[in-house]
């Protein structure tokens, strides 16, 4: 046996064995952390895989098939006009009310199609960070100055982070730009307005199916009350587009959508059943085709295989360490509260770092912060957590690494944490 080659597997086996042998089973905190990890991953599977990720995978697959590479390169490519590219990427979150995990398939779709690292990184941060509803609720619950600071800082962050990523990897981006210029560009087979309506319908389904914020009052409550009606209307429009613009047989489209309609009528109080049935029908409809519609399903499935296992693993680990919102994992919540009681550099850095690793579903960061501020958290660290938390999470980091590599991921995380820390310090000093 060649020990020079086998010692690493042996060492790994020994480490795993010792870890399993000394598992602190029976200790209340450890047992509770295991329970929290399982509870969080179950909640994530029920609330976010079905309603968020499945639509996001289909959108990402559609980007890869139906959006021409020429369009991506024109608006988001490495050689695109900087003002246009970063402007589009930085305000994307005003449309996408998504969390740090749901944005990943969309990021993977545009990056794979040739988007420059800078605009793609700006989009990756902006998608979950600049959410109109989240900004409004932040101002309503935590104060107008906090809402304004969050909006301004998040938009600035996305641009600065994107520009920094582009500059740090400028040599690689230049090579990418030259390679893209040498490739023949194929335009889309459909007019731009048809593609815009097609993607608008799918993004609308994603947004309204996950709409929260009924507590915001006024317009937000009205949308929350009718969100499933809006989702259904957009699904109907999507079906019409598939029949008349994408060449799918009308009978097959109607047959695929029939179970969803029946479930919506029979179980009106459980709209998720109809939602799931609709995507199962769409999958069966597309999966057996050999044309571009079949390729759409294949691309969507490839994104799901690449991203979903890492997300579930990351959510499990995040639950083990930090627990669910309002609960505890291995890390006691009192440590967090005690560490962010002032506006010191350490407090802001700690808030940014914990926020970066913790998983926040869309809008949940606001009541969590409300509770922390009530327990003595300073406003500076609160803003730092608001800027780092929704945009990053441990599941998010694992997937980003698989898409762009370890070095780019580490630098992206570092930029977010450092900028959130500095913003928290400045805000805390002013307010």
Residue 240 has pLDDT above 90, yes or no: yes
In this predicted structure, the answer to whether residue 107 has a pLDDT above a threshold of 80 is: yes
Task: Look at the chain and count its residues.
Answer: 431
What local confidence, expressed as pLDDT, does residue 9 receive?
82
Per-residue model confidence (pLDDT) at position 391:
85
179, pLDDT greater than 80 = no
Res 335: pLDDT: 77
CA–CA dist 76, 192 (Å, integer): 16
Lowest mean pLDDT among 7-16, 233-242, 251-260: 7-16
Residue 390 confidence (pLDDT): 83
Q: How confident is the model at residue 422 (pLDDT cuts 50, 70, 90)?
A: very high
Q: How far apart are CA 319 and CA 394, in angstroms?
A: 10
The beta strand positions in 39-102, using DSSP E, are none
Q: What is the DSSP letter of 324?
A: S
351-392 pLDDT, tens digit per residue, is 999 889 887 776 677 777 877 787 678 999 999 999 998 888
* Interval 285-291 mean pLDDT: 91
∠ CA(289), CA(295), CA(297), 5° rounding? 80
| pLDDT-based confidence at residue 184 (cuts at 50, 70, 90) | low
User: Region 280-297: what's the mean pLDDT?
Assistant: 93
Give 203-233 pLDDT, tens digit per residue.
899 888 887 655 555 677 788 888 999 999 9
Burial of 202 (0-12, 13-18, 19+ CB in 10 A): buried
Mean pLDDT of all residues belonging to the chain: 85
pLDDT band with cut points at 50, 70 and 90 for residue 322: confident
Q: How far apart are CA 427 and CA 431, in angstroms?
A: 6
Q: Which residues have a Cβ under 8 Å from the Cβ of 72 and sit 6 or more positions away? A: 110, 113, 114, 115
Element at 298 (helix H, strand E): helix 292-322
pLDDT at 81: 77
Q: Which residue has the higher pLDDT, 114 or 24?
A: 24
Contacts of residue 398, defined as CB under 8 A and 6 or more positions apart, other chains included, come to 310, 311, 313, 314
**Per-residue pLDDT tens over the stretch 135-152:** 777 887 788 888 889 888
Picking from 258, 261, 259, 249, the residue whose alpha carbon sits closest to that of residue 286 is 249
Contacts with 227 (C-beta within 8 Å, 6 or more apart), sequence order:
208, 209, 211
Q: Measuring CA to CA, which residue among 125, 123, 105 is closest to residue 64?
A: 105
Domain boundaries defined on the chain: 43-430
Q: Which has more pLDDT, 142 or 59? A: 59
Q: How confident is the model at residue 215, as a pLDDT?
A: 53
CA 425/CA 427 separation, integer angstroms: 6
Within a 10 A sphere around the Cβ of 233, how many other Cβ atoms? Answer: 15
How many CA atoms within 13 Å lie on the side-chain side of 276?
12
Q: How many CA atoms lie within 13 A of 236 on its CB side?
A: 8
Mean pLDDT of 47-71: 84
- 213, 224 Cβ separation under 8 angstroms: yes
pLDDT at residue 260 is higher than 90? yes
* Strand-pair partners of 77: 115
Listed residue (234, 238, 131) closest to 226, CA to CA: 234
Beta bridge partners of 115: 77
């Amino acid at each position: 046996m060649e020990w020079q080659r086998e010692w690493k597997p042996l060492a790994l086996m020994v480490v795993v064995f010792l870890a399993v042998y000394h598992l602190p089973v029976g200790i209340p905190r450890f047992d509770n952390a295991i329970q929290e990890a399982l509870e969080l991953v179950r909640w994530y599977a029920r609330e976010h895989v079905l309603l968020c990720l499945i639509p996001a995978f289909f959108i990402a697959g559609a980007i890869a098939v139906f959006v021409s590479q020429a369009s991506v390169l024109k608006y988001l490519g490495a050689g695109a006009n900087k003002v246009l590219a970063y402007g589009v990427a930085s305000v994307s979150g005003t449309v996408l009310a998504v969390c740090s995990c749901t944005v990943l398939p969309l990021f993977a779709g545009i990056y794979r199609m040739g988007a420059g690292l800078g605009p793609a990184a700006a989009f990756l941060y902006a998608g979950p960070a600049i959410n109109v509803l989240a900004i409004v609720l932040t101002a309503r619950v935590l104060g107008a100055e906090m809402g304004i600071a969050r909006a301004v800082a998040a938009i600035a962050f996305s641009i600065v982070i994107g520009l920094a990523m582009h500059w740090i990897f400028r040599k690689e981006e230049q090579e990418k730009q030259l390679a893209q210029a040498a490739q023949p560009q194929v335009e889309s087979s459909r007019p731009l307005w048809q593609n815009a309506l097609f993607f608008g319908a799918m993004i609308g389904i994603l947004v309204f199916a996950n709409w929260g914020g009924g507590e915001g009052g006024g317009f937000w409550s009205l949308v929350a009350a009718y969100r499933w009606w809006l989702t259904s209307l957009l699904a109907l429009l999507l079906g019409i587009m598939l029949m008349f613009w994408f060449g799918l047989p009308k009978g097959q489209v109607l047959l695929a959508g029939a179970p969803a309609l029946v479930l919506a009528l029979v179980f009106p109080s459980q709209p998720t059943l109809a939602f799931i049935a609709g995507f199962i029908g769409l999958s069966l409809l597309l999966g057996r085709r050999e044309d571009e519609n079949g390729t759409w399903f294949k691309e969507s499935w490839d994104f799901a295989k690449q991203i979903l296992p890492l997300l579930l693993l990351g959510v499990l680990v995040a639950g083990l360490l930090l627990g669910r919102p309002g609960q505890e994992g291995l890390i006691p919540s009192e440590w967090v509260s005690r560490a962010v009681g002032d506006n010191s550099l350490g407090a802001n850095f700690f808030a940014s770092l914990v926020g970066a690793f913790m998983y926040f579903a869309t809008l949940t960061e606001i009541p969590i912060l409300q509770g922390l501020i009530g327990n003595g958290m300073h406003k500076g660290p609160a803003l730092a957590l608001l800027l780092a938390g929704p945009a990053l999470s441990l599941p998010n980091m694992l997937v980003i690494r698989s898409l762009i590599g370890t070095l780019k991921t580490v630098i992206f995380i570092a930029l977010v944490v450092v900028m959130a820390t500095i913003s928290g310090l400045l805000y805390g000093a002013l307010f």
